[in-house]
Each structure stands twice: as structure tokens, then as C-alpha cells.
Amino acid sequence: MAKGSSSPAERLDRYRSMRDFDRTEEPSGEAAPDGEARPAARGRFVVQRHRARRLHYDLRLEVDGVLASWAVPKGPTLDPKARHLAVHVEDHPIEYADFEGVIPSGEYGGGDVIVWDRGTWSPVRTDDPAAAIAGGELHFDLAGEKLAGRFVLVRTDRGGERSGKEQWLLLHKDDDDAQPGWDPEDHPRSVKSGRTNEEVKADPESLWHGDRPAAEAEVKVKAEGAPEGASAGWPPLPTWDGPTEDELAALDALGAKGRWTVQGHELALTNLDKVLFPGRDDEAPVTKRDLIRYHAVIAPVLLPHLADRPLNTHRYPNGVDKPGFWHKEVPSHAPEWLSRWRNDEADPGETEWYAVPDSVATLVWLANFAAIELHPWTSRLVDVHQPTYALFDIDPGAKTTWDEVLFLARLHRTALEHLGVEGLPKVTGQRGVQIWVPVAPGYTFEQTRAWTESVSKAVGRTVPELISWAWTKSDRRGLARLDYTQNVKNKTLVAPYSARPAPGAPVSVPIEWDELDDPDLHPDRWTVRTVVDRVAAIGDPFARLLGVDQVLPDL
Ligand code: MN
């Protein structure tokens, strides 16, 4: 908790300790250098209305280069009779004072935040407010747009060792600014934007990632220089339920072939006991029935990554031991209900009709078709010329070790953090790692490819002994390639949660950055048999990339 003698950096320790700081060598919230204590005469104050698990107002006073902070469930009031609970919480970095937007769910304090009031404050009866706070009583004047006059914060309970939550009371003196009965909830709009929490939540301009260094924690989702159309955002996607237990039992009960009804669609399934993948280690082989079951069960997590996108597939009807082939054109025997999209720009001989997965039944149909690898387009139907991701593909060479792949992935992490760009890795199910960076609408593939190339070249320059830029595999001397050339319309990377054509049916799996440090991580660690449990336990890390309208910083 705040101590009078400690430096700003020390006072931020608690803020940082509550967040999952990575092992980057970048500084973490050291924007306020040591010993730069400012005269306490008049500092900034801000009150943020924050709808997290519970609504509260965060009262923050600038003290010695950080924001001393109290969470006030009922909010500050001008009513001199009110005594409102104020929980002393960790100091916040000064950069947070202007923040208004959304803290992504799952992160610390997840919810929406508005700048409810702001202005200046000055301590009363002391010139050492940090000492007064440490002593448990602070009298101060506020000059804000809503709040004014003299307030008192007084500690009533130091809180247990465990909770560390000191309880204080916040009250307003009965002075000229006092207004009996004044209720903060009657004044719900932001003094920064005029918007309510609800309006900010619906259309945020900023995201705050408290697990990043303070100077990089705020990510503008509609910064200046945003591409045209960015304000519209990506169209939202529906959500999907999985098959019922009864439906799965009916699949298990089928013979070698038969009709299966799932979510209202009847499918004629064939060769259900055919081995598509040999077993890995001493596991049983994976049959077409197993793949169909997997596609059905993983559908609620997989479909958001496929929906609204044309699909390329890599099919292995004779099993992954035999050569497969690319298949894009929707065949004439496809069911009526299959959603499809016609590529008006197709040249003669090129694929014209693409499947667009939008149901559990579509994924079942694809598995029955032995479409093992699913490669959705990087763009959506709203405009197939606008990528939704900038894609990094760390493609290991024959001599590249897994440790080197991990090292390259961590370099990308550092680079993206340095740029304040949100992205996440996924293992390919084969040997590599990809990094997916969501982008706002309005970019061309040329732009995302150029941006990705710049970042890749910068990363590659730091480890020339690991990287080759040669175009052909034979010229790469067994070295890895950082492949930015996939950022092209109708060039694709394998979908998250798609199976790969290898023994055991390994799966491409999104991971958290910290999982790169897990000694058990391998690029083909998870299979169609094991990834469902992982998703049930920790969810899909890529889910939070969906629909992020991120503007890429200029390089
Ligand atoms: Mn809060």
C-alpha cells in the first residue's frame, strides 16, 4: 500500500504484481522516474465510473507521480450526510487517468470505464499527502466538473493481511459546495466524451491492457489514421451450440454408414469406421467417425473462425498416408442447405463456388467428405479484399529446432508488445508457430503484407543465423523462414482447431503467450482426442481476437 517515503516505481509494484507481467526486457510502468516527486500543491484527480464485476467509482488522486486510488461502490457525493465506503486499492499509473473505454473481459478489472469527473485537487492541512494517506486520514479539496469542495477520506479498517483491502470512508464537508441528497447516479455521463458507460461499451475508442507496461497499455481502436471504414467495425458473428448428448449417442450407434440428424439437418454418412489417421505412439487409429464427432463437438469454438469466410479444404479421402489434394469448389452432391459464396472474380477454370461454414452440420459434412484441413480465407464476405488479420508464419527449416521456433516466437511477442499491438500465437499441429494479429476493417492485403514484412525483417535481423529469406526451400540451407507472403487474398493458413494430416490427428491450437514457456509445449501436442478437454478447461484464446478493430501502428 502507499507509503510516504517510497518512490513512484515502488508504489507501482502492487499494481504490477496484480497483473501477469511477461518476461520481456521492456520497462514496465516506469514512466515516472525515481525521485521526481512533484510539489503536492495541486495535482490532477479523476473519478472513473467502472462497471466491472460490480459497479463502482474509482477516485484517483495524483500523488508523487502515481494515482492513489479508492474504489467507491456508491460513488462520491456532494451530500454532506453521506458516508460512503471507499476501498483503498493499488496505485495506478498516471497514464490511466485519461482512460475511457473497455478493459477486455478476462483481464484484471474487465468491464467498461468512463471518465466520470476530473479536475485538480489539493491536500488540506498537510503538504505531504502520501504521509497523510499512510496515516489513514486525508482532507482535500476537489475542483472538478461535477465534484467540488472539501472531502475527507478516513481509514476505518486496515483489512486483513490476506485481503490487503483497507476500508476507508469518503465524505463531503458541509461547505458551500455541499448539496443534500446529491446522487452521482443522477449524473451518469462522461466529462470527457459526454457518453454513458453503456454507450462506451457499445462502441469503445480504447482498450486497456493492464498486463502491459503503462505506456503501452492503452490501445486505440479508432486512432487517427485509421483506415477508411474502420468506424463501422467487423459485423458481429452469431454463437453456436454443440450437438446434444443424444445426437452424439446416435452417431456412435451408427454402423459403417447411415443417416445422422444433427441440429435439424440429416446427413448421409459413409465409411464411418475407415481409418483416416494412423495412431500415434500406442494410441488407436483415428477413424472418420472420430473426425466427424470431433468436428461436431469443437464446432462452437471452431465456427467463429470459419463463419462468413470462403473455405479452402485439403482432403484425404484415402487417409493421410495417401496423398491429399486441395478442394475448393462446392461439389454438385453438396446438400441444398450448405451456405456458399460465388467468387465473381474467378477466372475461367478457377473455383467459382466456395462453401461458407455456418453450422455444426456443415462441419460434419466436411468431415464426411474427408476434408481434414480447413483453411478459411483471411478476409470475410463483407469484402474479400480486406484482411481481418495480419499473419506471421514461423516456418521452420529442416535444421530448425523447436527451441529455435520458440525463440523466434518470443521475439515476435517482444516486437508486438513494443508496438502495442495485440496478437496471439498458435501451434500449427505440425512443426511451426503462427502469430495472428487482428486488424480493423479497411486494410488491403498489400498493407498488411507490407506491415508484416517490416516486422518480420526487423525480427529476422536480430537472428540472421536462424533465418533465410530465400524463396525456394532448397536455397534455405535448412533455416527457418518468416513467411509474410501468406497475406494475400485466397492464400490461407490452417484454421484454429483444424486437424492436420499426421498420425494421431494433431490439431492447430491457439495458445497464450506464456504457454511458450511451458516445457510440455510441442507444435503437435494436442490432437482431436485431447484438445476438447483443453478448450473446456481454458477456453479459446483466439476468441478474444475476434472482431477486434485494431489499427496497426506506422513502422
Ligand atoms: Mn475499478
* pLDDT, position 193: 87
> Three cell numbers at 291?
473426425
DSSP for 95-124, written as a single string: GGGG--EEEPTTSTT-EEEEEEEEEEEEEE
Give residue for cell 496423398: 323
Angle of the 445-462 helix axis to the 402-419 helix axis, nearest 10: 120
* pLDDT average, residue stretch 41-59: 93
Confirm whether 334 is domain-assigned.
Answer: no
Of 505, 494, 509, 501, which is closest to residue 540 (Cα–Cα)?
A: 509
301 CA to middle of ligand 1, Å? 31
42 CA to middle of ligand 1, Å? 24
Calpha distance 411→151 (Å, rounded): 49
What backbone torsions phi and psi does residue 123 show, to the nearest 5 degrees? -75, 150
418 CA to middle of ligand 1, Å? 26
547 CA to middle of ligand 1, Å? 25
What backbone torsions phi and psi does residue 285 show, to the nearest 5 degrees? -65, 165
Confirm whether 62 is domain-assigned.
Answer: yes
Q: Residue 51: beta bridge partners?
A: 55, 112
Higher-pLDDT residue of 204 and 431 is 431
185 CA to middle of ligand 1, Å? 16
Which amino acid appears at position 31 of this protein?
A
115 CA to middle of ligand 1, Å? 12
52 CA to middle of ligand 1, Å? 7
How many whole angstroms from its chain centre is CA 53? 19
351 CA to middle of ligand 1, Å? 52
* pLDDT average, residue stretch 245-265: 97
Calpha distance 267→125 (Å, rounded): 79
Calpha distance 3→274 (Å, rounded): 69
* pLDDT, position 11: 56
83 CA to middle of ligand 1, Å? 19
512 CA to middle of ligand 1, Å? 25
Give residue for cell 454438385: 332
* pLDDT, position 203: 85
* pLDDT, position 264: 93
Half-sphere exposure of residue 551, counting CA atoms within 13 Å on the CB side? 19
* pLDDT, position 212: 82
212 CA to middle of ligand 1, Å? 17
103 CA to middle of ligand 1, Å? 10
116 CA to middle of ligand 1, Å? 12
416 CA to middle of ligand 1, Å? 27
Binning pLDDT at 50, 70 and 90, where does residue 17 land? low
Confirm whether 191 is domain-assigned.
Answer: yes
Mean pLDDT of the chain: 89
Q: Residue 266: beta bridge partners?
A: 261
95 CA to middle of ligand 1, Å? 15
* pLDDT average, residue stretch 391-411: 97
156 CA to middle of ligand 1, Å? 20
245 CA to middle of ligand 1, Å? 41
Confirm whether 126 is domain-assigned.
Answer: yes
> Three cell numbers at 369?
467428405
Higher-pLDDT residue of 390 and 26 is 390
- Residues ≥6 apart with Cβ < 8 Å to 51: 111, 112, 113, 197, 201
* pLDDT average, residue stretch 186-204: 90
Confirm whether 322 is domain-assigned.
Answer: no
* pLDDT, position 27: 34
Confirm whether 311 is domain-assigned.
Answer: no
What per-residue string of b and e applies to 498-513 under the rule 16 or more CB within 10 Å gives b? Answer: bbbbbbbbbbbbbbeb
Q: Does the pLDDT value for residue 168 go beyond 60?
A: yes
68 CA to middle of ligand 1, Å? 12
Q: Does the pLDDT value for residue 4 go beyond 50?
A: no
Q: Quick count: other Cβ atoms within 10 Å of Cβ 282? A: 5
Higher-pLDDT residue of 489 and 163 is 489
Calpha distance 364→145 (Å, rounded): 59
* pLDDT, position 116: 97
H or E element at residue 387: strand 383-387
Half-sphere exposure of residue 428, counting CA atoms within 13 Å on the CB side? 22
Q: Does the pLDDT value for residue 29 go beyond 80?
A: no
The C-alpha angle 97, 414, 24, rounded to 5 degrees, equals: 75
* pLDDT, position 24: 32
Q: Which of 101-105, 269-273, 367-371, 441-445 has the lowest mean pLDDT?
A: 101-105
* pLDDT, position 42: 78
49 CA to middle of ligand 1, Å? 8
110 CA to middle of ligand 1, Å? 9
Q: Say if residue 31 is exposed, middle or buried (CB neighbours under 10 Å; 0-12, 13-18, 19+).
A: middle
Q: Say if residue 412 is exposed, middle or buried (CB neighbours under 10 Å; 0-12, 13-18, 19+).
A: buried
Of 277, 296, 311, which is closest to residue 379 (Cα–Cα)?
A: 311
Q: Residue 157: beta bridge partners?
A: 167
3-state secondary structure of 258: strand
- For the segment 471-514, what is each residue's pLDDT rounded down to a tens digit? 788 889 999 999 999 999 888 999 999 999 999 999 999 999 99
What per-residue string of b and e applies to 383-405 under the rule 16 or more CB within 10 Å gives b? Answer: ebebbbbbbbbbbbbeebeeebb
Binning pLDDT at 50, 70 and 90, where does residue 104 land? confident
- The sign of the CA dihedral 549, 539, 416, 199 is positive
58 CA to middle of ligand 1, Å? 5
What 8-state DSSP symbol labels residue 7?
-
DSSP E strands: which ranges in 201-296? 206-208, 218-220, 258-262, 265-269, 275-277, 286-287
Which amino acid appears at position 40 of this protein?
A
Confirm whether 184 is domain-assigned.
Answer: yes
Q: Does the pLDDT value for residue 366 go beyond 60?
A: yes
256 CA to middle of ligand 1, Å? 58
151 CA to middle of ligand 1, Å? 20
Q: Quick count: other Cβ atoms within 10 Å of Cβ 348? A: 5
126 CA to middle of ligand 1, Å? 27
Q: Does the pLDDT value for residue 230 go beyond 70?
A: no
* pLDDT, position 220: 78
345 CA to middle of ligand 1, Å? 51
Binning pLDDT at 50, 70 and 90, where does residue 31 land? very low
| Domain containing residue 89 | 8-28+39-204
Binning pLDDT at 50, 70 and 90, where does residue 25 land? very low
**In the chain, pLDDT over 70 holds for what percent of residues?**
90
Confirm whether 307 is domain-assigned.
Answer: no
Give residue for cell 510539489: 39
108 CA to middle of ligand 1, Å? 9
Q: Which of 13-22, 247-256, 473-482 has the lowest mean pLDDT?
A: 13-22
70 CA to middle of ligand 1, Å? 8
Higher-pLDDT residue of 53 and 400 is 400
Higher-pLDDT residue of 68 and 26 is 68
56 CA to middle of ligand 1, Å? 7
370 CA to middle of ligand 1, Å? 50
- For the segment 169-192, what is each residue's pLDDT rounded down to a tens digit? 999 999 999 999 999 999 999 998
> Three cell numbers at 340?
456458399
73 CA to middle of ligand 1, Å? 10
* pLDDT, position 12: 62
Please tell me the total count of domains within the chain: 1
Of 488, 495, 493, 490, which is closest to residue 350 (Cα–Cα)?
A: 490
